[in-house]
Structures are given as structure tokens and as C-alpha cells.
Amino acid sequence: MGSGENYITVHHGVYHQRAGHQPQGMDGRGDWRWTREVVSGQPSLVSEIVVGPDWTQLPLGAMESVGMVTIINKGGPPRDTLPTAEEAREMAAQVLEVSLRSVTMADLEINPGESQPITPSRPTILLRSRTGVRLRVSYHVVPR
């Protein structure tokens, strides 16, 4: 891509580790990287909100057309080890629910310390804390 073009690059890696086996990646690779042109001249939006038990519209500001949204549940630290039983109970109380429609029902769940990139077909994104505890949520919106 040339220096005058707008684009987004995503690097995504997922591995599944079964007891007694080597980690297995997606499609045998584990890591995927792709680049997409951003046709809008609008800047990205990076912000943070706090959500509780009520469904809250993700504020997209003046974004005319949404290309990708990455949502991060800051309710706990990112983990690269299995939680203890006590940590798992604490994490279960800090799950972020995401609805991608105007109906208030969860389509996605984001655990504490985890993130989820989505490419919504419409700009309706509602968030809430499953248990009602206040959760800090960071988000990054890239225009289409």
C-alpha cells in the first residue's frame, strides 16, 4: 500500500492447547494477518466508557460509517495462564455482554482482560455488565 492510502492491518492469533498435545493453531497456522483499505478520510476513534447493569449504546461520536470496532473488557488483566478457582469466580462476575442489534439480548461475551474485534453490519452496539458490576471498557473504532 502506498503512503497516501488509509488502511487497517489486523494480526490475529488463536491456539488451542489440549493436555498432552502441542498447541494447535487456526487452519494449522495459528496466526493470521490481513490488511484492508479504509476508504473514509475520517480518523479512528479511541475511547473508554464504564458500563453497569443497563444496556448502554457504544458512543461512536461523529463516525459516519463503521468499518471495525475492537472492544476490550478492562475488568481484569489479560491472562496467558489458566485462572485459579477463585480467579475464575471473580472473572465470571466481570463478563461484558455485547448486543449487535437494537434488541437487548447478548450476541457476544467478552471475558475480563480479553478483547473482541467485530465488523458490524450496522452501527448498533449495546454493552452491559452481565452481573451489574461496573466495568471499564476501552474501544477503538475504525471507519469503513
**pLDDT tens digits for 93-134?**
999 999 998 878 899 999 999 999 999 888 889 999 999 999
Q: What pLDDT was estimated at residue 46?
A: 95
Residue keyed to cell 481484569: 76
Assign 41 a pLDDT band (cuts: 50, 70, 90). Answer: confident
Q: What is the pLDDT of residues 69-86, one digit of tens each?
A: 999 999 877 787 888 899
| DSSP 3-state of 15 | strand
**Phi, psi values for residue 7, rounded to 5°:** -155, 165
137 or 29, which is more confident?
137
Ranges of each domain in the chain = 1-37, 40-143
DSSP 8-state symbol, 87: H
Residue 3: pLDDT over 70 = no
- Per-residue b or e along 81-94, where b marks 16 or more CB atoms closer than 10 Å to that residue's CB: eebeeeeeeebeeb
Task: For residues 6-34, give the mean pLDDT.
Answer: 83
The mean predicted confidence, pLDDT, of the chain is: 88
Domain spanning 40-143: CATH 2.60.120: yes
Start-to-end CA distance of the chain, whole Å, equals 17
Lowest mean pLDDT among 3-12, 30-39, 92-101: 3-12
Q: What pLDDT was estimated at residue 12?
A: 81
CA torsion angle 44 128 118 143 (round to 10) = -20
pTM of the model: 0.87
Cα(37)–Cα(8) distance, integer angstroms? 6
Task: For residues 28-32, give the mean pLDDT.
Answer: 73
Cα(121)–Cα(26) distance, integer angstroms? 25
Question: 113: which residues sit within 8 A by CB, 6+ positions away?
Answer: 73, 74, 75, 76, 77, 78, 79, 91
Q: Which amino acid is at 28?
A: G
Q: What pLDDT was estimated at residue 61?
A: 80
> How many angstroms separate the Cα of 118 from the Cα of each of 19, 70, 82?
30, 6, 25
In DSSP terms, which residues pair with 99 in a beta bridge? 126
